[in-house]
Amino acid sequence: MNQKNLKSINSFRRISLITVIAVYFLILVGGIVRSTGSGMGCPDWPKCFGSWVPPTSVNQLPNDYQEIYLEKRLQKNDRFVASLEKLGFANKAEEIRNDKSILVEEEFNATKTWIEYVNRLIGVIIGLLIILTVYKSFPLWSQDKAIPILSVGSLILVLFIGWIGSIVVSTNLLTWMITIHMLLALLLVCILIYIHFKAHHIGKEVKVRTEKSKRLSVILLIGFVLMIVQIVLGTQVREEIDQVATAMGNLLRGTWIEQLGFPFLIHRSYSLLLLGIHLLFIYKVYKYSLRNSGIFKLSQLLFIVIVFEILTGVGMAYFAIPAFLQPIHLLLGGLIIGIQFLLLLNLFDQNKLKIDTVSS
Q: Per residue in 15-58, pLDDT tens?
A: 999 999 999 999 999 989 988 888 889 988 888 998 999 999 99
Phi, psi angle pair for 50, to nearest 5° = 75, 10
Q: Give helix 90-97 / helix 65-86 axis angle, nearest 10°.
A: 170
What secondary structure letter does DSSP report for 100? G
- Do the Cβ atoms of 309 and 223 come closer than 8 Å? no
74-83, 123-132, 208-217: least confident range: 208-217
Highest mean pLDDT among 12-16, 161-165, 176-180: 12-16
**DSSP-derived secondary structure for 230-282:** HHHHHHHHHHHHHHHHHHTTT--GGGTGGG--HHHHHHHHHHHHHHHHHHHHH
Q: Is residue 207 scored above 60 in pLDDT? A: no
Phi, psi angle pair for 261, to nearest 5° = -100, -150
* Average pLDDT in the chain: 87
Of 109, 105, 107, the C-alpha closest to 57 is 109
Q: Is residue 264 scored above 50 in pLDDT? A: yes
How far apart are the C-alpha atoms of 144 and 35, rounded to whole Å? 42
Binned at pLDDT 50, 70 and 90, residue 89 comes out as confident
Half-sphere exposure of 151 (CA within 13 A, CB side): 30
How far apart are the C-alpha atoms of 9 and 200, rounded to whole Å? 8
What's the Rg (C-alpha) of the chain? 23
In the chain, the N- to C-terminal Cα span, in Å, equals 39
64-68, 156-160, 169-173: least confident range: 169-173
Q: Is residue 301 scored above 90 in pLDDT? A: yes
Average pLDDT of the segment spanning 132-138: 96
Q: What is the pLDDT of residue 354?
A: 45
* 51 DSSP β-pair partners: 48
Of 209, 353, 221, 347, the C-alpha closest to 278 is 221
Binned at pLDDT 50, 70 and 90, residue 344 comes out as very high
Q: Is residue 82 scored above 80 in pLDDT? A: yes
Average pLDDT of the segment spanning 270-277: 91
Q: What is the pLDDT of residue 281?
A: 93
Q: Is residue 359 scored above 50 in pLDDT? A: no
- Do the Cβ atoms of 129 and 15 come closer than 8 Å? yes
What pTM did the predictor assign? 0.88
H or E segment to which residue 216 belongs: helix 211-247
What secondary structure letter does DSSP report for 321? -
105-119, 162-176, 313-327, 330-344: least confident range: 162-176
Determine the longest span between alpha carbons in the chain, in angstroms: 76
Q: Is residue 317 scored above 80 in pLDDT? A: yes
H or E segment to which residue 80 belongs: helix 65-86
Binned at pLDDT 50, 70 and 90, residue 205 comes out as low
